[in-house]
Amino acid sequence: MQQPEADSEIEEEHLLNFVVNSLDEELAIDLGDDVKVTTETLYEVLAGASAGGTSINHVCETTGDSPHANTVRGHLTEQFELDSVEAVGDTLLQRDALA
């Protein structure tokens, strides 16, 4: 009997939600009251770029509901230093891969 193929769209959505939730727990962003973009949106773009091996620019240009790439990069660089984001990402991957 042949195993049914997994629905890759559902798997991608679950993975994206997992990554976004993990990042949100470990790297809270204070966007302020007057900012229209959400933390979830910023992390979705970042996770999409990372998972796709592409850039924030590419994700923002090819996804209809994404904010402008400069908006995403601006908020992320205002909040974090690259080294701290990489360290948290590495820790999350190691922790969750070993769990």
Q: Please give the Cα distance from 94 to 2 (Å, whole number).
A: 33
* Structure confidence by residue, pLDDT tens digits, 44-82: 888 888 877 888 899 999 988 899 999 998 988 888 876
Q: What is the pLDDT of residue 61?
A: 95
Which two structure tokens, joined as six digits, stand for 49? 């770029």
Q: What is the pLDDT of residue 53?
A: 81
User: Contact 31/41 with Cβ under 8 angstroms?
Assistant: no
* Structure confidence by residue, pLDDT tens digits, 85-95: 667 766 766 76
Residues 6 or more apart whose Cβ sits within 8 Å of residue 35: 75
